[in-house]
Amino acid sequence: MLKVVKFGGSSLASAGQFSKVGKIVRSDESRRYVVPSAPGKRNSKDTKVTDMLYQCYAMAEAEQNFNAALKKIQERYESIINGLNLTLSLNKEFEVIAENFKKKAGADYAASRGEYLNGIIMANYLGFEFIDAAEVILFNANGEFEAEKTNERLAKRLKGCKNAVIPGFYGAKEDGTVKTFSRGGSDITGSIVAKAVRADIYENWTDVSGFLIADPRIIENPEVIKVITYRELRELSYMGATVLHEDAVFPVRKAGIPINIRNTNAPEDEGTLIVESTCRQPYYTITGIAGKKGFVAVNIDKDMMNSEVGFGRKVLAAFEEHGISFEHLPSGIDTMTVFVHQEEFEGKEQQVLSAIHRLAQPDSIDLEGDIALIAVVGRGMRSTRGTAGRIFSALAHANVNVKMIDQGSSELNIIIGVKNCDFEMAIRAIYDIFVVTQI
């Protein structure tokens, strides 16, 4: 058994959290490769080290004195080092950082130092080899990730290395310029390392015990999802469920490596297992519920629309002309509705409507804003009759008016449109009928 383990910022925010991580890694010899994030918040009023680095570098770019800001960052790391009773000094590293800030090394370089420094501490604490991600995570001159080259170099570098710490979030271009992934990119690094060493499992440790069936800000103490497929995860992540960076899925999915989301503060919890496919029947009909507010329904009406070849293409071309992507596209015999982000659409609505009239010549167009979209996702829906009916029943009982319902051909998800003001009520009603009462 070989495991790659990634720890998030909240798991490494203090010496106390580091100690928990140390116990987790040492408790299982198969946890051989560790990918750390930068220190996160220690409390709700605290600031993440990555944000502190961005702020500090902004001062450097503005030719302001940033020494005090950089000193505060160094003190965060020293508090971890002292709390772990390590004989380690980061003075030289901070001298180099200060010099590179003065030379305007770039915001990516600045942000990456959070993981870089935490990686040095982690390697020292565990007694593992430290490998700078800039040496093994490769980007091309345009800043695009080089997946194949990275896999080859990383596999070769780790082949004779029993245990190692590889900082998350960043890599480098061929000229040595540091390049970061998007925020949360340490998840991606962990996935890349797991693929390179052909790990049996990729453990992603955070501050929650896996994916929850629904948003805990809406549902009190929602149930944890035990097993979820990559396709289900993709549907939920797209609609706003966030525990894992969505790009972290692709490297391990291709390699058939499962991801286990675990809780650093409750290591005894099994968490959520993310797999390509499974024959395990879910305990509930649905796997999860997620959604977003702030959509506009563009309702287009034209007699005999269904017999007009290319009508849909013409309508979508009007949105494309103005750089607007659509979310969903339910249609009827003489009607077609395009759901788009309201914030993106509002400034261009009249131009888009004019383009639709010019290209598709509809009979009428009607707009309805302040719409929320909710995805009900679950592989169990394929083998269960009446899922849509139960959703309608639950929403009707909660006095929620359904604006749209659209089921994908895979029968893996059902998308429901409701008014923004009914969003939370709708999620509670759906959770209640499928999880609480299970009727």
Please give the residue that has the higher pLDDT: either 306 or 425. 425
Neighbours of 116 (CB within 10 A): 23
Residue % of the chain over a pLDDT of 70: 98
- Give the mean model confidence (pLDDT) for residues 12-31: 97
Q: Which residue has the higher pLDDT, 431 or 250?
A: 431
Which residues, including other chains, have CB under 8 Å from residue 79's CB and lie 6 or more apart?
14, 15
- Residue 109 above 80 pLDDT? yes
- Give the pLDDT score at 409: 60
pLDDT (average), residues 30-56: 96
User: Model's pTM, two decimal places?
Assistant: 0.85
Contact 8/186 with Cβ under 8 angstroms?
A: yes
Q: How high is the pLDDT of residue 94?
A: 97
Q: Fold for domain 288-436?
A: VC0802-like (3.30.2130)
For residue 152, what are the contacts with CB-CB under 8 A and spacing of at least 6? none
Q: Are 284 and 213 in contact (CB under 8 A)?
A: yes
What is the reported pLDDT for 28?
A: 96
Q: Binning pLDDT at 50, 70 and 90, where does residue 295 land?
A: very high
The CATH number corresponding to 3-275 among 3.40.50.300, 3.30.1180.10, 3.40.1160.10, 1.20.1530.20 equals 3.40.1160.10
Dump strand ranges (E) for 230-361: 259-263, 272-275, 288-301, 335-341
Give me the mean pLDDT over the 283-291 stretch. 88
Sorted by sequence, the CB contacts under 8 Å of residue 157 that are 6+ apart come out as 131, 135, 136
321: phi > 0 → left, psi -120 to 50 → alpha, else beta; which? alpha
| 50 Cβ neighbours under 8 A, 6+ residues apart | 9, 38, 111, 114, 183
Of 9-23, 181-195, 405-419, the one with minimum mean pLDDT is 405-419
What's the pLDDT score for residue 384? Answer: 76
Per the structure block, which two tokens stand in for 426? 């709708």
For the chain, what percentages of helix, strand and coil (3-state, to nearest 5) are there? 45, 20, 35
Q: Which DSSP category does 145 fall into? A: B
Highest mean pLDDT among 111-120, 255-264, 387-396, 400-409: 111-120
Of 141, 58, 65, 67, the C-alpha closest to 106 is: 58
Residue 242 predicted with pLDDT over 80:
no
Mean pLDDT on 415-423: 94
Mean pLDDT score, 122-148: 96
Give dist(CA 317, CA 311) in Å, integer.
Answer: 10
The pLDDT-based confidence of 54 (bands split at 50, 70, 90) is very high
Contact (CB, 8 A) for 302 and 245? no
Q: What is the mean pLDDT of residues 353-368?
A: 95
**Contacts of 45 by beta carbon, 8 Å cutoff, 6+ apart:** none
Name, in order, each residue with C-beta under 8 angstroms of 67's C-beta and a sequence gap of 6 or more. Answer: 98
User: Is pLDDT of 248 > 90?
Assistant: no
Helical H segments across 207-268, by residue range = 230-238, 249-255
DSSP code for 239: T
4 to 16, 194, 365: CA distances (angstroms): 22, 6, 53
- pLDDT tops 90 at residue 9: yes
pLDDT of residue 189: 94
293 pLDDT above the threshold of 70 = yes
Residue 419 has a pLDDT of 96
pLDDT in tens, 75-106: 999 999 999 999 999 999 999 999 999 999 99
* pLDDT confidence tier of residue 380, bands split at 50, 70 and 90: confident
In this predicted structure, the answer to whether residue 343 has a pLDDT above a threshold of 80 is: yes
- Predicted pLDDT of residue 437: 86
Mean pLDDT, rounded, for 381-407: 86
pLDDT band at 408 (very low <50, low <70, confident <90, very high): low
Supply the pLDDT for residue 186: 87
Check whether 330 has a pLDDT greater than 70.
Answer: yes
First vs last C-alpha separation in the chain: 41
In the predicted structure, residue 413 carries a pLDDT above the cut 90: no
Query: What value does the mean pLDDT take over residues 163-179?
Result: 95
Instruction: Give the per-residue pLDDT at 253.
Output: 86
Q: Examine the pLDDT at 37 and tell me if it is beyond 70.
A: yes
Q: How far is 190 from 205, CA to CA, in rounded Å? A: 11
Ranges of CATH 3.40.1160.10 domains, the chain: 3-275
The pLDDT score that the predictor gives to residue 410 is: 63
Q: What share of the chain in percent tops pLDDT 90? A: 75
Which of 50-59, 312-321, 386-395 bottoms out in mean pLDDT, i.e. has the lowest? 386-395
What was the pLDDT predicted at 241?
Answer: 67
Average the pLDDT over 313-330 and give the result. 92
Question: Does the pLDDT value for residue 127 go beyond 60?
Answer: yes
Which is nearest to 167 in space by CA: 22, 6, 19?
6
